[in-house]
Structure formats: structure tokens, C-alpha cells
Amino acid sequence: MLARKTLHAHSRIWLRLNRPQSQSQTTTTRHPIRCSSTLVVPFTADRYHVRRENFAKVTADDAKVFREIVGDHGVITDAADLEGFNVDWLKICRGQSKVVLRPKTTQQVSDILRYCNDRKLAVCPQGGNTGLVGGSVPVFDEVVLSMGLMNRIVSLDPMSGVLITEAGAVLETLENYASERGRVVPLDLGAKGSCHIGGNVATNAGGLRLLRFGSLHSNVLGLETVLADGTILPFGSNMRKDNTGYHLHHLFIGSEGTLGVVTQVALLCPPKPTAVSVCYLGLNSFEDVLKCYKEAGDSLNDIISAFEFLDNSCYQVSCEKHKILPPLNPFPFYVLMEVSGWSPKAQSERLDSLLERLMSSGLVADGVVADEPSKIRTFWEIREGVAEALTRRGYVYKYDLSIPKREMYSLVKTSESVWAARSTSAAVTAIWVTNNLHLNVLTSDYFPEVTKRLEPYIFEWTSQHKGSVSAAHGLGFKKRNAIKYSQSPTAIALMKKLKQL
């Protein structure tokens, strides 16, 4: 058997990765929405030609009531301070809200919503504002309900692993809290330094641990929510098993703030694996990626916790932006694979034995393995940093699709001609195991005619291949009209009725 050390040495570039962590930006210190940008983001209403509905406008009297509810410190009206709440992380959407409210209690959320409902003021609930579909910022002058001050962690039961937290807690804070107690928060994503657990629930965020721990539908045991009319809908039992009536909290998972505001979350946190290894593999063809996945799945299915796919554009752009020395020389495709568990020795042996097989058969052209936390972090940073790196290059037409694995790359291959104009380029990553293809088409600026060339082409292609036009990011503002490509008219009609409840 090829020894672990030999595998490390296989790629000489590996050695150069042994540098102080501080040389690269880490995910944990990035706070995307606070980044300054030289781009001026046009108003959403102007860029996308949408018309405001007949909602009331915030008056001085309203502001007075808001101050009574949340206090002076809970009301933001200063133009400079409003900026970060009006512009989305991708710098594509800009709302025109004149007031941001920052409640500290569920009762305050209820009072705000009841008042706004009575006054017919539109409300935009906002978590960490890290969404990618323009769903977390106002489109017009909605009242922004920012959940950032409701960030108290209530409890973590050591026996059951159930974490109860307010919705505004930052994901990374929860992760650290759970980790110190031998538990792991069952979702993880690039935006964890800013995103809120409430926003994660509202958008059914998937992220990097879905393969191992399942979706939020598996792990959210209960929610406290406030409906649009101010009604507080408290937790059910927070038990793993509760079959008393409809499982209402599942309706709020992924509802993107359209049914109510999540104020507290009960989340099942599994025990934290004690041994983790991550490897980067370089591959020459998409066909090889498919075969590599089959082999890895067969050999490692109980310990594999991530299998991600990047093309060379994403890999290079991310390494460059985040000042990371590429762990491998250029290849057309890369796979990032993680294994984790509690039997370090058996786990390493199985991973090494698989990698040896993959490399001697030629399926994998080159590879490096990391066992040490700081190196693992760097490996993940390349993957997690793709979105940010691309955004800095111009306008990104982002598509977040679920597509059957065999077909995943054919969308990119067969349709390059569609976007081969305006000096655009395409960059692709995929959360492979969950069939989630992230297709990014880059241009120097926003051109409506590029949108027309891409849509509905991509949506129709996805629909024909029985995929989903929004795998993870949700519909938000930008994909709101694409729902018909993934849902039947009957289902959409039922959703509309639900919304009216």
C-alpha cells in the first residue's frame, strides 16, 4: 500500500503550503458585506424595471412608533448606515429603504410586524445579508427588519445535542460554541462569518456538510416564528420525534421570509468528528470525475463528508484572489474530497488505499492530502472563496442548479456558444454529491442582452433534465419568475394559497 507520507510527497507543491496561516485571508475573518467596493450599484428598481406595489410609505409618525417599540438605538435612518442593509453581497441589487429596525426580542418583532401589517408598510426581514439572489435586501423602500441583535444562544443540551438559539446568531459563533462542547453545527458555508442561523433556516441553506448530516429539514427540530400579522407561533416540542399534527416548522424552512420571521431555532447538533482529512485531486476529464465519484462512494461512503468539483477557472481565480499557492498544478478539473470520523487510523488507511488505486489507474492525475487543521482550512478556502473571487471580476450571472450527475457538465459543454460573446467566460463549481451545479457566467458589466441569451435557455435546459433552477440559493428577487421551471402550476397555486393564510 502507498504510505500516507508518499501521497503527501507525491505533489511537491504541497510543501509550499506549509506557511503561516496569516498569509492568507481566512473565511473566519471575512465579513463580506462590510467590504468596500468601488462599483456603484444601480437601484434594483431601475436595473430590472420592476414597479412598486401599492404599499404605504414610512412617515415621521411611523418612525416615532418604531422608536417606542425598539428604542432609539434600534432604529437606523442615517443614509450612510443604511447602505449596508440596502445593497446585497454580490453588489447587484440595491434597495432604497429609509429605515432599518433592530429588535431585541420576539415581542418586539411581533409588535413591528403587527404595526406594519395594519399600516400596510412592506417589510424586508434580513439576516446576515449574504444571500445570492437579492432576497435579503429591499427592492424598493421596504422597512428592513434586521435580526442581528437577537443573537443570544439559549442552551445546548449535552445529552441530546439540541441547540436552542435566537435567529440572529451568526453561524460561525454557533459553530465555535458547539465545537467547544464536542458538537458540530450540521451546516457550514462560505458565508458563515456573517450569515445568521435564522437566515439559513429561512433559505434552507445547504452548504458543505449536507452530505454527512442532511439538510435543515433533518436537523431543525423546532422554530419560533412570527407571522406577518404579528402572531407569535411558538416552538412545538423540540423533540426528535413529534407526530402531533402538521409539521409546521418545515413549511418555514426555505420560505424565504414570505410566511413569517424566524425568531428562535432548535437545531440538532451531532457529535463532532475527531479526525478529518481533505484531499485535492487533479483530473483530466469530466468522465474521470464521474468514475472517481463512483469509486469513492463505494469505498468511503460512511466516512466521506464532502465531494466537491471545481473547474480550472474557479480554482485559479480563487487561489489568486485569496493569495493561496495552488496546491496542484493546473488541471481541467479538481475534486475536493473530505473524510471525517472517529477512527483516524482505519479512516486514513481507507483513504490512502482509494487514492493509490485512483492514481495508479490514471483516473486521478495528481493529488495532495491534508490532515492538519490549518491546511484543511486553506483547502476549503479555495472552494469557499470562489464566489467572492468571481464577484470582484465584474458582473456575475449566477446559476445555482440541481442537475443529475451524468448531465452536470453537459450544460456547460454544449452551451458555451450561448454566452460566447461580450468577452464572457464561464466558471463552474459543484457540490457534487448533492447534484448542485454552480454556474457563473462573467462579463465586464451587466448587459441585459446577455441575460436574454442565458434565460430562459438555462432554466429550460434544467427543467428538461428534471433538475431544479434553484438548488440552494432560493428564489429571492432574481429567480422569482423561474419557479415555473421547477414547480407545477398546481404546486404554485397551492403555494399562493398558503401565502395568503
* Contact call for residue 77 and a second copy (CB under 8 A): no
What one-character DSSP code corresponds to residue 406?
G
- Considering only 39-47, 55-63, 66-74, 466-474, which stretch makes contact with a second copy by CB under 8 A? 466-474
Residues 429-448 that bind a second copy (CB under 8 A): 431, 434-436
The rounded distance, in Å, linking the Cα atoms of 466 and 157 is 41
Tell me whether residue 424 or residue 468 sits nearer to a second copy (CB atom).
468
- Considering only 32-40, 80-88, 166-174, 337-345, which stretch makes contact with a second copy by CB under 8 A? 337-345
* Contact call for residue 192 and a second copy (CB under 8 A): no
- The binder of a second copy chosen from 326, 341, 367, 385 (CB under 8 A): 341
Q: Is 245 within 8 Å of 177 (Cβ atoms)?
A: no
Residues 49-68 that bind a second copy (CB under 8 A): none
- The binder of a second copy chosen from 21, 23, 343, 481 (CB under 8 A): 343
Residues 230-259 that bind a second copy (CB under 8 A): 231-234, 236-248, 250-251, 253-255, 259
Residues 445-464 that bind a second copy (CB under 8 A): none
Handedness of CA 351, 356, 358, 364 (dihedral sign): positive
Q: Whose CA is closest to 372, among 2, 9, 17? A: 17
- The binder of a second copy chosen from 217, 361, 392, 448 (CB under 8 A): 217
Least distance to a second copy, CB of residue 495, Å:
5
Q: Whose CA is closest to 88, among 142, 36, 46, 135? A: 135
The rounded distance, in Å, linking the Cα atoms of 385 and 388 is 6
70-74: long-range contacts (C-beta < 8 A, 24 or more apart)?
A: 70/101, 70/102, 70/103, 70/104, 70/108, 70/112, 73/102, 74/101, 74/102, 74/103, 74/104, 74/108, 74/149
List the beta bridge partners of residue 264: 166, 224
DSSP 63-91: HHHHHHHH-GGGEE--HHHHHHHHB-TTS
The separation between CA 142 and the C-alpha centre of its own chain, rounded to angstroms, equals 24
Residues 13-32 that bind a second copy (CB under 8 A): none
Least distance to a second copy, CB of residue 325, Å:
32
x/- mask, a second copy, residues 142-171, rule CB under 8 A, reads ---------------x-xx-----------
* Contact call for residue 490 and a second copy (CB under 8 A): yes
Before 456, cis peptide (omega within 30)? Answer: yes
Residues 358-397 that bind a second copy (CB under 8 A): none
The rounded distance, in Å, linking the Cα atoms of 101 and 115 is 13
* Contact call for residue 1 and a second copy (CB under 8 A): no
- The binder of a second copy chosen from 26, 228, 270, 295 (CB under 8 A): 270
Task: Specify the 3-state DSSP secondary structure of 137.
Answer: coil
Q: Is 161 within 8 Å of 109 (Cβ atoms)?
A: no
- Considering only 42-50, 113-121, 308-316, 489-497, which stretch makes contact with a second copy by CB under 8 A? 489-497
Tell me whether residue 257 or residue 326 sits nearer to a second copy (CB atom).
257
x/- mask, a second copy, residues 101-140, rule CB under 8 A, reads ----------------------------------------
Q: Which cell numbers hold the place of 176?
A: 465555535
x/- mask, a second copy, residues 290-319, rule CB under 8 A, reads ----x--xx--xx-----------------
469-498 as b/e, with b when 16 or more CB fall inside 10 Å? Answer: bbbbbbbbbbbbebeebbeeeeeeeeeeee
Least distance to a second copy, CB of residue 338, Å:
14
Q: Which cell numbers hold the place of 296?
A: 469513492
Least distance to a second copy, CB of residue 38, Å:
32
- Considering only 53-61, 100-108, 209-217, 309-317, which stretch makes contact with a second copy by CB under 8 A? 209-217
Tell me whether residue 13 or residue 251 sits nearer to a second copy (CB atom).
251
Amino acid making up residue 320:
E
Count interface residues toward a second copy (CB under 8 A).
81
